[in-house]
């Protein structure tokens, strides 16, 4: 499994275009004062024990959260452009990110990762 989970072409382009913003988001996550959507992407990981353990075992929780937030924001924008209201777009983006987290959480590579198993046992 690649550590660069959720690094789509659009995510990479965004990261390359806005490195200062990425650094700001990393600081916000580290200090616990991030805005609601970024906080949602971070705290949602707690609901997926295998994914959470895997991310912690490779020290990639912040990077993953930022990747997820960029994707989440893109979904919101796309839903709004498709005619959904702001609230509906947010709920749809939330649902999509939950489906993504669930698919990763249940992936064989994450479930069977030996280092992640140790972290999962510690976090349980």
Q: Which residues contact 31 (CB under 8 A, 6 or more apart)?
A: none
Quickly state the pLDDT bin for 68 (edges 50, 70, 90): very high
Tokens representing 122 are 């510690």
Whole-angstrom Cα distance, residue 49 to residue 99? 14
Span of 3-7, 47-51, 70-74 with lowest mean pLDDT? 3-7
pLDDT reported for residue 4: 78
Tokens representing 111 are 């479930």
Quickly state the pLDDT bin for 3 (edges 50, 70, 90): low
pLDDT reported for residue 120: 87
Quickly state the pLDDT bin for 100 (edges 50, 70, 90): very high
In angstroms, how far is CA 71 from the centroid of its own chain?
Answer: 8
């Amino acid at each position: 499994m690649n550590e660069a989970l959720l690094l789509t072409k659009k995510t990479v382009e965004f990261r390359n275009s806005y490195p200062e913003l990425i650094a700001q988001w990393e600081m916000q996550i580290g200090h616990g004062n991030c805005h609601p959507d970024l906080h949602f992407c971070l705290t949602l990981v707690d609901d997926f024990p295998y994914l959470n353990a895997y991310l912690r075992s490779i020290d990639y929780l912040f990077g993953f959260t930022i990747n997820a937030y960029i994707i989440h924001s893109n979904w919101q924008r796309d839903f709004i452009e498709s005619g959904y209201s702001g609230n509906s777009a947010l709920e749809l983006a939330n649902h999509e990110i939950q489906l993504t987290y669930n698919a990763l959480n249940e992936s064989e590579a994450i479930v069977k990762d030996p280092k992640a198993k140790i972290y999962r046992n510690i976090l349980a």
